[in-house]
Amino acid sequence: MCGIVGYTGPRQASRILVEGLKRLEYRGYDSAGIAVLKGGPIAAGERPLVVIKRKGKIAELRKAVPKDLAGSSGIGHTRWATHGSVTDANAHPHTDVSGKIAIVHNGIIENYVPLKEMLEKEGAVFLSETDSEVIAHLVAYHYDGDLESALKAALGHMRGTYGIAAMHADEPGRIVGARNGSPLVLGVGDGEMLLASDVTALLAHTTNVVYLNDGEVVSMTPTDFRISDRDDQAVDPRIDQITWKLGAIEKGRFSCFMEKEIFEQPESIERALTGRLDMEYGSAKLGGLNLAKKDLHAIERVRVIAAGTSWHAGLVGCQLLESVARLPAQAELASELRYRNPVVEAHSLYLAVSQSGETADTLYAMREIQRRGGAVLGICNVVGSTIARESDGGIYVHSGPEIAVASTKAFTSQLAAFYLLTLSLARMHDMSHHEGERFLEELKAAPEAVRRSLQQRDHIQAIAKRYARFHDFLFLGRGLLYPIALEGALKLKEISYIHAEGYASGEIKHGPIALISPETPSLFLVPNDHLREKTITNMKEIKARGGPIIAVAQEGDDLVASIADEYIPVPAVDSLFQPFVMVPPLQLFAYFCALELGRDVDQPRNLAKSVTVE
């Protein structure tokens, strides 16, 4: 959600801010703006801060920003509306009455109403409907020549989540940032400093970054920075290196990021597996778990906490853990677990799964489990993210940057992480060395199987052209393919805006079969195991009621092809590894339906990549 960029240094700030905001477009937004401290002399009566903000896309902001706008320090923001409608006035940055203070804010200020009432009594005039504007007036209320002190004083009044960047015209070249529950990263350059909510906005300028923790405040000038807590105690910073290359966040030969990321999956799965396949012992090497072998062996049950696509990966993971490692496992929606007064059991392992590592529901659920004494491992893509840093250990999935809002390659990399963890735990219990070797051979073959599955691109595009006109879909699967059906339905909803529901195939007779008509296609995922015949029976039930059928099944399955109206063949793999080859056709189907309908595939409406608010 919302993006923050700040810059102070020798270069033209406006260009760097707009470029940085452009790189944050994938997070989802509906308006954007910048504030720049003017360069050169300030005329009498002229406001020293130039604030330009527009609803709509970055392109609208870019047109409004003069190409020769002087000024070498400033802050920028992309807004995803929470308080107030999508208007220029509600866009960030916000300023105080004097126009000398500007702020940008990610998050929610829960007590903004009483703060606003108090500030209005003190003479503040509010120009927006947002909760964020109170921050600018609150900082002005406390300002006495030191922006850092004023912001810290303001934070003492605020309840909620925030990532904040602030500047004051009387302190040229200084930007102050604060974090609580919303990510903020400092970029350390050569004679310049940057601030952002995501490293993708920094990568073109520096690979040296400092990830702020909750409760920390950074004050930066072009040549120096200081990090402290809200009690003004200095914090010793750790400078990390971004390992991503700039080309990883550019489209290259592809028309959009989602297409690029779908076709990067063979390589991203290989990265998730690299260095982790222990062929000698028929097991997996997971060095980041931070648990001794005896502690891993003592695990009696596993609980996954996640949201959205990551929850679907967790559902697959739980089935693997139960069927292969013989450990009871359950996937929980983080937003529900957090408020449920959960029972944290001894000898339970909790897994917090999040692509961004910043998902608010998952992060807060993780903290609640830890507060109750539970051990939580993170399964994350983003190095340095909050869940990665606050968890007790974990597995990086190494997908590389995922720019499209709808997750694709991170999902299959999360699956790879669950297969590795399952193998590691299974080999501690009932799985033999020989069985471990067979499992590894199948896992090693997964990237190539995914590559072959993606070769159905043109066939799937043709099917999507025929079916994009439908308004309702059912996605049906059994066993390990039931969560994949859920994920396929979610992808279609996310990017095409077509209503779709995922169900376990055996459940259609318990209600959903009432929806079947010639106008409601069913997309079946057909397993190649003991559930195949039962799934075919379900297909015949749909066929008998006039429902169109799209079937994704193992190549050479003539019976399925004869029943289905459309047949998408996928490579023949062991049934345990079918999730890998079933996912790409569903992603491509959603993608091509969205294109056929003229949707914005990378930035679908109302959605955000990193959901950092409730």
Rounded distance, CA 365 to CA 345, Å? Answer: 15
Q: Could you tell me the domains of the chain? A: 3-242 (3.60.20.10), 254-431 (3.40.50.10490), 455-602 (3.40.50.10490)
Upstream peptide bond of 585 is cis (omega within 30 degrees of 0): no
Rounded CA-CA distance 345/430 in Å is 23
Q: Report how far residue 608's alpha carbon sits from residue 528's, in angstroms, rounded to the nearest whole number.
A: 36
Residues designated catalytic: 2, 609
Alpha-carbon separation of residue 20 from 252, 272, 295, 324 (angstroms): 18, 28, 44, 45
Asked which of 200-204, 447-451, 578-582 is least confident by mean pLDDT, the reply is 200-204
Cβ neighbour number for residue 497 with a 10 Å cutoff: 15
Average pLDDT value over all residues in the chain: 93
Interval 79-136: pLDDT, tens: 988 889 999 999 999 999 999 999 999 999 999 999 999 999 999 999 999 999 999 9
Q: What is the mean pLDDT of residues 353-359?
A: 91
Distances 230 to 7, 34, 160, 297 between C-alpha atoms, Å? 23, 26, 15, 42
Q: What is the DSSP letter of 602?
A: S
- For residues 363 and 353, give the distance between their C-alpha atoms in angstroms, rounded to a whole number: 9
Task: Give the model confidence (pLDDT) of 398-419 as tens digits.
Answer: 998 888 999 999 999 999 999 9
In the block, tokens 């290196």 appear at 241
Cα 410 from chain centroid? 9
Asked whether residue 26 carries a pLDDT value surpassing 90, the answer given is: no
The span from the CA of 596 to the CA of 556, in Å, is: 29
For residue 608, pLDDT beyond 80: no
Please say if the pLDDT value at position 18 is more than 80.
yes
How far is residue 290 from each of residues 325, 414, 422, 428, measured CA to CA in Å?
Answer: 20, 19, 16, 16
